[in-house]
Amino acid sequence: MKVLVVGGGGREHAIIKKLKENKEIGTIYALPGNGGIAADAECVGIGATDIEEIVRFAVENGIDYAVVAPDDPLVLGCVDALEEKGIPCFGPRANAAIIEGSKVFSKNLMKKYGIPTAAYEVFDDAEKALEYVRTAPIPTVIKADGLALGKGVIIAQTREEAQDAVVSIMKDKKFGKSGNSIVIEEFLEGPEVSVLSFTDGKVVKPMISSMDHKRAGDNDTGLNTGGMGTIAPNPYYTDDVARECMEKIFLPTIKAMNAEGRTFKGCLYFGLMITKDGPKVIEYNCRFGDPETQVVLPLLKSDLFTIMKATTDGTLAETPVEFEDKNAACVIMASEGYPVAYEKGYEITVPGEIAPCVFVAGAKEQDGRLLTSGGRVLGVTAIADSLKEAIDCSYKMVEQIHFDNAYYRHDIGQRALKAKE
Ligand code: AMP
Ligand code: GLY
């Protein structure tokens, strides 16, 4: 079997390492992959949004199954294009990926089907939005409608910040066309939980819960990033919360997408906030989270490829999705200065014995050496019986990995540890 994975970050590395456990798979191609992924897959220099080239490669190389991991190719219709050529895929078609691709769509969907989320208003006129924020409750949350590399959400603590956000998104087009419409929503409070789930459009099977650490600095200070570390399971996601989420959020979302003629297949990511009024949806993603995947998949006991094929075939109900009764922690090592400006090109050294725990995100291979090439460079995941052991073990491995200008948070998992006490 030849499997193709679209994408080239730490999440894709985690997916590929897990897929390799399946002995049916002979070759895995990563498009484009990266210097670290090259140890586990054949990397091909085709960009993740170059859909024409991806399809051409898949057809010419007789690919049996494709996993489309990142948001942009999904929203652009990569699955539709591959399926047209008869190549089965893991991931939603474009008409379902819109659940992440348009916040206006997802908010309206939740309102129409009574799925709990923050109260909101939609604007496609900057002047009307500016008028609204003059009297809106503060803090207020302003979101660009479309994809914005995870940066399209601004939490305005003052009226001036809210106005600046509207101007930069809608008038200055900071996120391009993604800012033609905006959502302005109620500020919610409570711990956040990420729940990735497998779905074939009929049933939904949640994976083990996780917690991301989005801010760049210790104690949740500094700018928002793509994610600086994760732990699983998330202690705030109790059995009661899980039951409530299944009944009020997960199943209603799958049904709503079907009712809209937009059946979702693949990984549906629920970004939740556990408020005093119960769990509410902060955002949907149409894909695996990064770096959530780096703690969730290492805990998966069942075979990933079998589950993926079941989401495509509609046989997920009969397919086991089981997780180890253990804890995982992933610490992201980034380039100092991320997410703003950072230097690249420094050599990375990883001792061989910890390489299986390392998921490479931003590195390239040059003359047999691995060099930093991105903001988030790699993630280090440890698994243990207790969360504390997993965290300690992950940091011990981090200390053995070297590159100049390395930066990481020192408090990954601390909030979760306190919540357990
Ligand atoms: P997103 O890019 O949609 O993941 O949002 C980034 C972060 O903004 C989320 O992880 C939350 O921490 C925060 N956020 C988004 N929406 C709200 C909201 N309505 N209330 C409070 N925080 C929010
Ligand atoms: N870690 C958050 C995301 O993947 O969107």
Domains and CATH numbers, the chain: 2-93 (3.40.50.20), 119-186 (3.30.1490.20), 192-318 (3.30.470.20), 328-420 (3.90.600.10)
Q: Best mutation site among 193, 283, 290 for ligand 1, i.e. most ligand atoms within 8 A of its Cβ?
A: 283
Distance (Å) from CA 153 to ligand 1 centroid: 7
Average pLDDT over the chain, rounded to an integer: 97
State the ligand closest to the CA atom of 187: 1
Element (H, E) at 180: none
Contact 237, 209 (CB under 8 A): yes
Residue 69 has pLDDT above 80, yes or no: yes
Distance (Å) from CA 288 to ligand 2 centroid: 8
- DSSP line for 276-317: TTEEEEEEEESS--TTTHHHHGGGB-S-HHHHHHHHHHT-GG
pLDDT, one tens digit per residue, over 174-214 is 999 999 999 999 999 999 999 999 999 999 999 999 999 99
Residue 328 has pLDDT above 80, yes or no: yes
pLDDT, one tens digit per residue, over 86-109 is 999 999 999 999 999 999 999 999
Residue 295 has pLDDT above 90, yes or no: yes
With bands split at pLDDT 50, 70 and 90, how would you rate the model's confidence at 8? very high
Residue nearest to atom 8 of ligand 1 (CA): 153
| Helix, strand, coil percentages for the chain (3-state, nearest 5) | 35, 30, 35
pLDDT, one tens digit per residue, over 197-207 is 999 999 999 99
With bands split at pLDDT 50, 70 and 90, how would you rate the model's confidence at 148? confident
With bands split at pLDDT 50, 70 and 90, how would you rate the model's confidence at 150? confident
Distance (Å) from CA 227 to ligand 2 centroid: 7
Alpha helices for 213-372 (secondary structure H): 239-245, 251-259, 293-296, 304-313
Instruction: Indicate whether residue 150 lines ligand 1 (CB < 6 A).
Output: yes
